[in-house]
Structure 1
Amino acid sequence: MSIKQLRAFLAVAQSLSFAQASQHLHLSQPALSLAIKTLEESLGGALLVRTTRSVALTREGEVLLPIARRLIADWDNTEELLRQHFTLKLGRVAIAALPSFAASLLPVALKAFRDCHPDINVTVHDVVNEQVVEMVRNHRVELGVVLEPESLEGLDFTPLYLDRFIAVVPAASRLASYEELQWSDLLSEPFIALQRPSAVRTLLENSVSAHHGRLPVAFESHQLVTIGRMVSQGLGVSVVPSLCLQQMEALGARCVALNQPRVEQRVGLIHLAGTTISAAAKALSEKLIEVTDKR
């Protein structure tokens, strides 16, 4: 039983005229008669009684009529709903992003996206790197923005930009007057780090261990905002992604370029490998790429 056959039956059943039904459906009468005949054969019996002068419904045809109306209405509503999703006139998309990106470039991309697609609902999860990966893997969000994971198993990664990490020091510190710092300058001070497990924490430890040994961690926090506040109060120094620069300085800390070793990591978009993302997620991905290209 196809939608074409149901439309043919409904047109004839409502008009009780093959001629009117043919005109309504823009079908020839032989094609219409064949559709009805095929439907009756598939169901196992007559739905219409035809004479040279009239058309009437059988008892089975009367049973099918309200069902056909409902099925066709559901079909048409589904078609329209999906058309609105594909044309981005309706829909939703969920994205998770690491805090440094969520507080800086993501709002810019969302503004550009909203200007083009005002009827798409966007849910943003501002979580640490590891949770972003977990939420994508568990289908809780379609898109994630992360530091490039060590393992991409089951994920597709699209690079957005290369982030260079910077030193964060108290504004009143002697280190704040420098244009550039080395790790040896920082490691003589109490260090404030993200708590484990943290991709940023692991990256920093791996980057400095060969030349300087372990980080002298004095304080730990789950949130970069808390780290910025602690640094601004003179509790120690830290190293954060360069995207956090404005956020850190707004909290009262001072940001300085960092070398020896320079710490860099790619930031990019992830989604589940082997899946086709929604039209809304694809459009948002394009805006994220566009915004980061201008960075």
Structure 2
Amino acid sequence: MNIATISAVRTIFAVRGVREAARIEGRPPATMSAALSRFEAAVAVPLVRREGTSMTLTLEAERRLGAINRIAVAARQLMSLAGAPEDRPIAPISILGLVRFTEVARVSSIRKAAKTLGVGQPQLTRQISDMERHLGYPLLERSGAGVSCSPYGHAALPIAEQIIADWEAVSQAAAERFRHNIETWRMGSVMPLGHESSIAHMLAAVAAGWETLRPRQHLAISGTTADELLSGLKTRHFDLVLIDHLSVPPDFECQPIRTDALWLVGAPELDESADIAGVLASRTLVLPSVRSGIRQAAERYLREVTASSASGPKDIVEIDSVPVIVNMVARYGYLSVMPQSAVERLPHRLSRWPMPESYRQQLTLVWRRGVLPRPLVDGIVGLMQGAVMLSPNEQAPAGFASTPAAQHLPFRF
């Protein structure tokens, strides 16, 4: 990590946007976006959420904001010690380079510092020289007796130490998270449509059978939308995710698990023989956000229906909570789109209109290419497909769900 990247991220956070930050910094948007990606990878957590053209900071980003701001201010101070103009770009000086400079200053010897740091003396000499070239002033004065800080070096030393301390505060959480992730295996999933849904059955089977696959690792399962799951996979927040569509980026591997028919559903009193276009024109739809696979299938279906009729739905209400959606359909007369298996397991009957076969929910396991051993993936797939084959009232084999894994693993939705 270097101070130029951190300064770019600080600008992105300040204006809540890559393009505006690029305009302020005088850099291409792609460069600013890459800086944000590098920073997220370094701290190992998602820092922003994108909704269309808007950007919001995650709680993890908010917690780090003070230290990031201090590093950016200190970086500008480093650049300005020799009177450089305020608009001069921040140099790409690495945190590691600052650590090595402070060690040289401490022992007053490049040879001793190189031995302590475990690097070659020529390599350390080149790195200090590169820093001096970027900053535009000498950090060290060389003599036969060794080295000592120049006047500029003396001024730069406390600034460098502050940057190092603040970066340690930012990256310590990442290091702790990395250690925790070694012990905990993280699986993400789209939200189940109730405790009797096929997704809930499959996730329960994985949690209950996890000890047979990885007896020395804990399992954590959490739920969110398909787009956020893929984003979490990219930032290594998840090891494996279960999404509800087949649009998988090329740098991931995937395994289809189950397909399910989609139904348009409404209040029990609606006439199931009525024309679908007419029903849609008379009611408001409640759907998950556009980040979900069901919403994407529903919108394709609506475009098809709208193209062949004069009108579409009255309106669309967006809610990312399945229990709320079910209540709005059953109690308040809204329409929605749900998988057939979930509708059939609901405690009350809804009116239903099967959608064409081309509109289906596709549950797919996704993981980073070349990361997971195939036997582990096959074991998870086996547990999930075994759960799907159970009937709604059928119980898993005796003792299967009483393992220590099933008793102690965190399972959060």
Q: TM-score, normalised by structure 1?
A: 0.57
The answer to whether residue 203 in structure 2 is matched with residue 106 in structure 1 is: yes
The aligned residue for residue 304 of structure 2 is: 210
Higher-Rg member (1/2): 1
SS, match of residue 343 in structure 2: helix
| C-alpha deviation, 1:114, in angstroms | 5.1
The aligned residue for residue 16 of structure 1 is: none
- Check whether the contact 1:208–1:261 (CA below 8 A) recurs between aligned residues: no
Alignment equivalent of 2:185, drawn from 66, 90, 93: 93
Distance 1:133 1:182, change over 3 A: farther
Alignment equivalent of 1:256, drawn from 337, 345, 352: 352
The aligned residue for residue 286 of structure 1 is: 382
- Check whether the contact 2:234–2:368 (CA below 8 A) recurs between aligned residues: yes
The aligned residue for residue 267 of structure 1 is: 363
Q: Distance in 1 between matches of 2:364 and 2:270?
A: 35
The answer to whether residue 276 in structure 2 is matched with residue 183 in structure 1 is: yes
SS, match of residue 332 in structure 2: coil
Which letter maps to 1:225?
A: P
Matches within 5 A, 1:31-42: none
| C-alpha deviation, 1:151, in angstroms | 4.0
The aligned residue for residue 162 of structure 1 is: 259
The aligned residue for residue 145 of structure 1 is: 242
1:125-146 Cα deviation digits (max 9, x unpaired): 1111112211222211111111
Distance 1:140 1:116, change over 3 A: closer
The aligned residue for residue 222 of structure 2 is: 125
Distance 1:257 1:289, change over 3 A: same
Distance 1:275 1:114, change over 3 A: closer
Question: Structure 2, unaligned stretches of length 5 or more?
Answer: 1-181, 193-197, 392-413
- Determine which structure has greater relative contact order: mean sequence separation of CA pairs < 8 Å that are 6+ residues apart, divided by chain length: 1
Q: Distance in 2 between matches of 1:289 and 1:253?
A: 27
- Check whether the contact 1:94–1:123 (CA below 8 A) recurs between aligned residues: yes
Alignment equivalent of 1:233, drawn from 331, 335, 351: 331
Q: Distance in 2 between matches of 1:155 and 1:290?
A: 25
1:101-157 Cα deviation digits (max 9, x unpaired): 543432234334457777652101111111221122221111111123424221111
Which letter maps to 1:216?
A: K
Calculate the aligned-residue CA RMSD, in Å: 3.2
- Check whether the contact 1:231–1:253 (CA below 8 A) recurs between aligned residues: no
- Check whether the contact 2:276–2:353 (CA below 8 A) recurs between aligned residues: no
| C-alpha deviation, 1:186, in angstroms | 3.7
Q: Distance in 1 between matches of 2:275 and 2:295?
A: 18
Q: Distance in 2 between matches of 1:279 and 1:261?
A: 33
| C-alpha deviation, 1:253, in angstroms | 5.6
Distance 1:104 1:190, change over 3 A: farther
The answer to whether residue 316 in structure 2 is matched with residue 224 in structure 1 is: no
Distance 1:186 1:261, change over 3 A: farther
Q: Distance in 2 between matches of 1:182 and 1:120?
A: 53
Matches within 5 A, 1:20-39: none
Distance 1:207 1:174, change over 3 A: closer
| C-alpha deviation, 1:270, in angstroms | 0.6
Which letter maps to 2:260?
A: D
Distance 1:135 1:102, change over 3 A: farther
The aligned residue for residue 233 of structure 2 is: 136
Which letter maps to 1:184?
A: A
Q: TM-score, normalised by structure 2?
A: 0.42
| C-alpha deviation, 1:242, in angstroms | 2.7
Distance 1:280 1:116, change over 3 A: closer
Question: Structure 1, unaligned stretches of length 5 or more?
Answer: 1-89
Q: Distance in 2 between matches of 1:104 and 1:166?
A: 20
Q: Distance in 1 between matches of 2:356 and 2:372?
A: 42
